[in-house]
A and B are shown apart, each in its own frame.
Chain A
């Protein structure tokens, strides 16, 4: 009971008293302080104006650690996206230019936004790949619907879909322009400029390939 009553009432303030700042003559007259403030603004003004006028301003990306203007004048100047940025999708190609995609629908199944539409097809009679693997007759991504989570890339067993283009989905003027078809998706190169995969280990014939090769050996 005693403890409870002690807890009632205003709390005792614990802390250190901060002294009021000294009212010196220079602070009170205001004029030396104005001069100091003007000095600082003028220093910034002259330095930055000089660097802008003579083209000596910082490169906003490479020299961003320096003092001065580090603005990026978009879209004339752009900061490149970092290496692991998830940008617009691309479909990787095989050496012969065919899509790596085998239309297994893993990506469209994994997609939480359900923005991938795949129509699978068989290779024609006589093609060695017939019966071994399929290909996407249509491969459509609705980039407006996409949430850029990267699950499709994780789900793909053959490294056919990647998001390493380093470009963001640009604002277009109609919704139709955000429907990216297979040809467009295969047309995007990766950051290294290649349309192939950087990760060829799932190519049939590779020792790491989990299944049979094309000749059913």
Chain B
């Protein structure tokens, strides 16, 4: 296939998106790691960086997106007349969205009123409703009611009236709640002289990054100047480029029935194969060796750490470099071997093929549970993070291999570590958590079916499916990153011999056993015949149902947890507490981050 300008531009765009994703998430992780560690220890953590914006601008920031959403809804209502067969799904979509945004807005404002106190008659009415969780339960009830009414009255004549009512009411609720919430937010800040934009403290890593650029770039006098400067790049680069083989979304098809961008709004058949000319793979490079590329490049990261240790002319650095090299080489073996089982099951080294297999069967974590835990452990060790951060070991060897680095070169090692976290999380979510696959969401829409019995079907436009899938991939990646941070703040550091023993005598035999067991089971299932195959398909459907229900349950539990009102006991025994109470509390001048 000839390389066209469009393809080249698309390649650059995709590479840009992936690199920006990895680097931005790495920056956010740098911040989250500090902030999260502080939160766990009941501290606030770094949140001081602030950009002050005038109140009028802040009000505009609240109102602008809301007006855009309202305009979009109005445009769809007025201009885009749907064909009759799509009227029912669209009514369902709008009523569900309207209910969602209504309860969301009310719960958020009610929670605010609970903590801040009543300031207007609307606040007083919300306060009289009591616990904000009641609003959420009412919203859930409305969701299910709308769903069942829509399903039950699908084809009756009464149903068409209900459908039109649902369409109108849903759109009205959507406009009302989005606009109302934004107006409420804009009104509630109108008396503030200025608004501090802290993005929950996210401006802090930006300030830190700027600072590292301007810091002194120190090179020890007797160090090998060239290698000392080269090492951070060798660490940084491979960590960044391994994301290239991980697809972050399903293939976008342009040429299904009628070519062009219009195809994006139509529904695509489930097993359709996009012609290469009219499709965009959401993956930077398309390599048959897929996983091997990942391991080959991840392996070169070792060179960076070892080189930094060697070139620094410092015994602590050398020790750190040697430790890093031996540790990463050891765990590389386990990483590779754990995925052999997965490759046997999926039958491909290409990550996109693996995701397709998981979409048609079950997620990798159900197929290869042992491999998931082994790979997770090994990849934490591979990124040299706590509890495996022996190459840094600040209690023993100062800072290990980057002892002699300062400023941006130090920051590059630091970033490389976090980017390695992001890429390993991305690979894990692709191989074990289905990548961009979400339960029951196929290329042509939502199909909830278990063992051939169809419970719910809904065709969805192609672009929506792809975008939701890509968001699912981002969410899974972030969750896995977050889990690695949590582990950092939970576990103490291993001793060096413990690390080696864990790697060579526990994880390696376990991964070998996993390969053998997987081989036996795969052969057994393949040779057992169609009956067993059908049973396995049923099991796969159950895992999808399990994931979907667990996700829904987790979401409901999370909202209930968030909306739970807080009751704090005041103690006024000390004179300073009495002074503070007389001044309206210390929190009145609170940091908003």
Establish whether residues B568 and A63, one from each chain, have CB atoms under 8 Å apart when the complex forms: yes
Please name 10 pairs of A and B residues whose Cβ atoms are closer than 8 Å in the assembled complex, sorted by A. Answer: A41-B489, A49-B39, A58-B568, A59-B585, A61-B580, A62-B577, A72-B586, A76-B591, A77-B591, A80-B576
A124 to B284, CA, bound (A): 93
**Footprint of A on B, CB under 8 Å?**
36, 39-44, 111-112, 115-116, 200, 486-487, 489-491, 561-562, 566, 568-572, 574-577, 579-581, 583, 585-587, 589-593
Q: Select which of B568, B575, B590 is within 8 A of A77 by beta carbon.
A: B590
Q: Which of A5-13, A81-89, A99-107, A202-210 contacts B (4 or more CB under 8 A)?
A: A81-89
Contacts of B115 on A, CB cut-off 8 Å? 54-56
Query: Pick the contact of A70 from B42, B112, B581 — CB < 8 Å?
Result: B42
Contact indicator B43/A69 (Cβ below 8 Å): yes
Q: Say yes or no: A71-B43 contact (C-beta < 8 A), given A55-B115, A66-B569.
A: yes
Judged by a CB distance under 8 angstroms, whether A212 is at the interface is no
* Cβ A37 vs Cβ B43 within 8 A: no
Measured in the bound complex, the distance between the Cα atoms of B579 and A81 in whole Å is 8
Chain A stretch 121-158: residues in CB contact (< 8 A) with chain B: none
Which B residues touch A184, using CB under 8 A?
Answer: none
Contact of A45 among B486, B570, B592 (CB under 8 A): B486
Cβ of A37 and Cβ of B490 under 8 Å apart? yes
> Which chain B residue has the least Cβ–Cβ distance from A60?
B586
Cα-based distance from A54 to B40 in the complex (angstroms): 17
Residues of A within 8 A of B36 (CB): 45
Residue in B561, B568, B571 whose CB lies within 8 Å of A50: B561
Do A44 and B576 have beta carbons less than 8 Å apart? no
Residues of B within 8 A of A70 (CB): 42
B116 and A55 within 8 A (CB): yes
B571:A64 contact, CB within 8 angstroms: yes
**Residue A38 is within 8 A (CB to CB) of chain B in the complex:** yes
Q: Which of B44, B111, B570, B583 contacts A71 (CB 8 A)?
A: B44
With an 8 A cutoff between CB atoms, is A57 at the interface? yes
How distant is B553 from chain A, measured CB to nearest CB, in Å? 16
Question: Cβ of A68: which chain B residues have Cβ within 8 Å of it?
Answer: 42
- For the complex, give the distance between the alpha carbons of A196 and B106 in Å: 52
- Tell me the complex Cα distance, A46–B557, Å: 12
Residue of B nearest to A67 (CB): B42
A169 in the interface (beta carbon within 8 A): no
Known A-B contacts A48-B40, A49-B39, A73-B44; the reply to A54 vs B576 at CB < 8 A is no
Chain A, 164-202, CB within 8 A of any chain B CB = 166, 191
Closest to A84 in B: B575
Shortest distance between the CB of A138 and any CB in chain B (Å): 33
- The secondary-structure label for the interface of chain A is loop
Contact A69 B116 (CB under 8 A): no
**Contact partner of A61 among B42, B200, B491, B576, CB < 8 A?**
B576
Given contacts A41-B490, A45-B36, A51-B566, contact A73 B591 (CB under 8 A): yes
List, in ascending order, chain B residues with CB within 8 A of A81's CB. Answer: 576, 579
CB distance from A167 to the nearest CB of B (A): 12
The 7 closest A-B pairs by CB, nearest first: A80-B579, A83-B575, A61-B580, A63-B568, A59-B587, A37-B490, A48-B39
* B523: min CB distance to chain A, Å: 29
List, in ascending order, chain B residues with CB within 8 A of A73's CB: 44, 590-591
Check if B491 sits within 8 Å of A34, measured CB to CB.
yes
B486 touches A62 (CB 8 A): no
The reply to whether the CB of A78 lies closer than 8 angstroms to some CB of chain B is: yes
Once bound together, how far apart are the Cα atoms of A73 and B111, in whole Å? 23
The complex places the Cα of A46 from the Cα of B40 at a distance, in Å, of 9
CB distance A69 to B39 under 8 Å? yes
Q: How far is it, in angstroms, between the C-alpha of A60 and the C-alpha of B576 when the chains are bound?
A: 11
B591 CB contacts on chain A under 8 angstroms? 73, 76-77
Shortest CB-to-CB span from B225 to chain A, Å, is 41
A45 and B7 CA atoms in complex are apart in Å by 45
Residue from B486, B489, B568, B581 having most chain A Cβ neighbours under 10 A = B568
Known contacts being A62-B585, A76-B589, is A48 close to B491, with CB within 8 Å? no
Assembled-state Cα–Cα distance A203/B574 (Å)? 32
A79: shortest Cβ distance to chain B, in Å?
A: 6
Residues in B neighbouring A78, C-beta threshold 8 A: 586
A17 interface hit (Cβ, 8 Å): no
In angstroms, Cα B571 to Cα A50, docked, is 23
* A141 CA / B491 CA spacing, docked (Å): 54
Chain B residues contacting A49 (CB-CB under 8 Å) are: 39
- The answer to whether A80 touches B580 (Cβ under 8 A) is yes
Interface centre among A34, A63, A67 (most CB of B within 10 A): A63
Q: How far is the CB of B136 from chain A (nearest CB, A)?
A: 14
* A52 pairs with B42, CB closer than 8 A: no
Partner of A57, one of B569, B579, B587: B587
The answer to whether A62 and B490 touch across the interface, beta carbons within 8 angstroms, is: no
Q: A52-B39, A52-B44, A59-B587 are in contact. Are A82 and B575 (CB under 8 A)?
A: yes
Query: Is the CB of A98 closer than 8 A to any CB of chain B?
Result: no
B486 contacts A79, CB within 8 Å?
no
Chain B residues near A40 (CB, 8 Å)? 490
What residues of chain B lie closer than 8 Å to A51, measured between beta carbons?
566
Which chain B positions have C-beta within 8 A of A42? 486
Write out the residue numbers on chain B whose beta carbons fall within 8 Å of the beta carbon of A60.
586-587
How far is B115's CA from A81's CA once the two chains are assembled, in angstroms?
26
CB-nearest residue of chain A relative to B48? A73
The residue on A at minimum CB distance from B201 is A52
Within 8 Å of chain B (Cβ to Cβ): is A53? yes
Q: Are B574 and A82 in contact (CB under 8 A)?
A: yes
Is A65 interfacial (CB 8 A cutoff)?
yes
Contacting pair B561 A44 (CB below 8 A): no
Is A44 a contact partner of B44 (Cβ separation < 8 A)? no
A66–B568 touching, CB < 8 Å? yes
With a cutoff of 8 Å between Cβ atoms, the chain A residues found around residue B576 in the complex are: 61, 79-83
- Please name the residue on chain A nearest to B488 by beta carbon: A41
Chain B residues with CB below 8 A from A66, complex form:
568-569
The reply to whether A54 and B579 form a contact with Cβ atoms under 8 Å apart is no
Contact of A38 among B486, B570, B577, B581 (CB under 8 A): B486
**Min CB gap A59→B, angstroms:** 4
